[in-house]
Amino acid sequence: MKRDRNFDELAGRFKKNIYGTNKGEIRLAVLWQHLLEQLPHLVDGPPLRILDAGCGLGVFALRLAELGHELVLCDISQALLEQAQQAFNEQRPEARVEFRHISLFDLPENDETQYDLVICHAVLEWLAEPSQSIPALYSMLKPGAHLSLMFYNINSLIYRNLVRGNLRKVKSGQFSGEVNSLTPQHPLKPDEVYGWLESSGLSMLDHVGVRVFYDYMEKRLRETLPIDAIIEMELEHSRQEPYRSLGRYMHVLAQR
């Protein structure tokens, strides 16, 4: 039986490979800009109650805590939750935050709270049944509340393999990562995810691509061009077609 991927064993590599890199920086910059642009009240409104489902190291939640919001962080990985807690103790000891070692699927029946904003970033592609997560996330939103959903885009993977000449791989349609790798087990078709949102009763407000060209660049260029210049271009192209649809991840803002 397939299981949701618990990051306990990937904890060390995850921190180094995702957040210690340009990739992590670009991802944060695009997500942050998009979220604040769509939900400006995050900056100048009253504190909100926010759930980060599958929080990992809590990097994004730390930024929201900095704005004074009240947070609940949940994850099935005890190791990552402990690292998130440590990061909060060191960087935001005053934050109003609760850490829950629980699956997002089990949270609704163990927590009657409904949230103003639910964050779920880079989690769906690690789930055995990704489509089932949307009704669970929906049930934790107050009416009118928002969902910030980021998922791994299969179209980007197909395109990257095509330009690298991995034609047989594309033909096989097998894009799942190896067990214990940081390549997700379920890259997702954006149209399918948008359909799940709609059938759960969520309205899609806007979407952007996250890393629309960096992952296709030659290694030499990635290492020599200044990261600030790359981020500026990523931000600009993240919302423009056809680049948007080529994002390694898609970030969707939806509303209940």
Q: Which is nearer to ligand SAM, 177 or 225 (CB)?
A: 177
State phi, psi for 63 to the nearest 5 degrees.
-65, -40
Angle at 39 between CA 229 and CA 251, to 5 degrees: 55
**157 is a contact residue toward ligand SAM (CB under 6 A):** no
> Which region, judged by CB under 6 A, interacts with ligand SAM, from 1-9, 32-40, 83-91, 202-210?
1-9
C-alpha radius of gyration, the chain, whole number: 18
When binding is defined by CB under 6 A, the residue of 26, 62, 76, 208 that contacts ligand SAM is: 76
When binding is defined by CB under 6 A, the residue of 26, 72, 77, 238 that contacts ligand SAM is: 77
Contact in structure between 209 and 215 (CB atoms under 8 Å): no
Interaction with ligand SAM in 95-154: which residues (CB under 6 A)? 103-105, 121-123, 126-127
When binding is defined by CB under 6 A, the residue of 42, 74, 84, 154 that contacts ligand SAM is: 74
Instruction: Write the burial class of residue 28 (CB in 10 Å: 0-12 exposed, 13-18 middle, 19+ buried).
Output: middle
CB of 127 to ligand SAM, least distance (A): 6
CA gap 233, 17 in Å, rounded: 22
CA gap 186, 130 in Å, rounded: 8
Q: Which is nearer to ligand SAM, 18 or 235 (CB)?
A: 18
Q: Strands 70-75 and 49-53, how do they pair?
A: parallel
> Which region, judged by CB under 6 A, interacts with ligand SAM, from 73-81, 141-149, 185-193, 225-233?
73-81
Question: Judged by CB under 6 A, how many residues of this single chain contact ligand SAM?
Answer: 23
Interaction with ligand SAM in 193-232: which residues (CB under 6 A)? none
Cis status, amide bond into 242, omega within 30 of 0: yes
* Residues in touch with ligand SAM (CB under 6 A): 4-7, 53-56, 59-60, 74-77, 80, 103-105, 121-123, 126-127
